[in-house]
A = this chain, B = another copy of it.
Amino acid sequence: MLTLASDFGTPYPAAMKGVVLQRTDARLVDVAHDLPRQDVRAAAFWLREVLPWFPPAVHLVVVDPGVGTDRAALAVRAGDHALVGPDNGVLLPAARALAGEADRAVEVFEVAYADPASTTFHGRDVFAPAAADVHEVGVANLETLERVSPVDGFVDLTFPEATVTEREARGTDRNAGGTDGEAGGFDARGEVLVVDGFGNVVTNVPGRVLDGHFGGEVLVDGDRVPVRAAYAAVGAGERLVTVGSHGNVELAVNQGRGDEAFGLRVGEAVRIESA
C-alpha cells in the first residue's frame, strides 16, 4: 500500500501517481492533495493525525516550499511504515507516532535521486520514484536501495506542549448538576495548532483536562463556554469546548466556524481553565 499526500491541488498529483504506477502495482490511497499550501507545520499535524490509522504502508508526502534548493530528500522508517518526502520536518511527527505504536525508533535515511528532470517538481521526479522503490524493496530493506543512505542530521519539527497546572476549581457549582464526574480544577496555557476545514480550532491542550467538566463550563481566555461531547449539544451558531478526534481540546461552533467566533488563529496563545 502506498499513500499520497500533497498540497498540489490539481492536476500535479496525477503525474506522481503515473510515475509510481510505472514502478509498482501497489494499492494507491489518496490521503489528501489539498493540504494547506506550503504550510509544513499544518501538514505535519494532519499527517500525524491520519497516518497512524493506516495498516503498514509507504507514505509519499510532498509539501515542499524548498523544492529545488539543496534541502535533502528523506525516507523515514517508522515501524512497518515508511515515509518519503522533503527534509523540512513534515515527516517527523507522523513518523514518531507510527514508530511509537510499534515501540520502535524512527530511522532516517537520505534519498539521493540524482539529476531530477525538474527543479520545481521533485514530487514527480524524486519522491514518487523513491517511494515506489521503497515499496518494491520493502520497508524493512529500504537501506538496500542503491541511492538510500543513513543521515546524521535532519530537520526536525515538534509541536509546542501546553502548560497544564492542576488546581482547586474555583466557582464550579457542583450542585448545579449536569457535570459528568469529578471535575478537576486546572489552568492550561497552550496555543492553536491548526484550524480545520470546518473552522474548528485545534489547540495543544490535552483533552484529559476536560474530564469531569462535560455538561459544565470552562473559561476560554476568560469567557465561560459550555463543555460538550457533541457539536449539536449546543444550539446552532453557539460556541462550545470539546475534545476533538485528535484527543486535544477543540474550540468549535455548532454548524459554524470556531476560528471566527473565538477570534483565534494558528500559533496564537489560548488559556483554558476551570470556571
Contacts and interface: CB of A to CB of B under 8 A. Distances in A.
A54 B68 CA distance: 24
Contacts of A121: 244-245
A10 B29 contact: no
B18 A35 contact: no
Nearest to A20: B53
B37 A14 contact: no
Nearest to A66: B232
Q: How many copies are assembled?
A: 3
Given A50-B18, A53-B15, A66-B232, A255 B38 contact: yes
A28 B21 CA distance: 12
B120 A244 contact: yes
Given A12-B196, A17-B29, 13 more contacts: A14-B30, A15-B50, A18-B50, A18-B52, A38-B255, A65-B254, A65-B255, A68-B232, A117-B245, A118-B243, A118-B247, A120-B229, A120-B250
Interface string A15-56: 101110110000011111011011000000011011111110
- Tier of interface size on chain A: 35 or more
A274 interface: no
18 contacts: A8-B197, A9-B197, A9-B198, A10-B35, A11-B47, A12-B50, A12-B245, A14-B29, A14-B31, A14-B32, A18-B52, A18-B53, A22-B53, A38-B255, A65-B231, A67-B231, A67-B232, A124-B245
Among A9, A14, A21, A69, the most chain B Cβ lie within 10 Å of the Cβ of A14
A137 interface: no
B124 A53 contact: yes
A97 to B, nearest CB: 12
Nearest to A21: B55
A27 B31 CA distance: 16
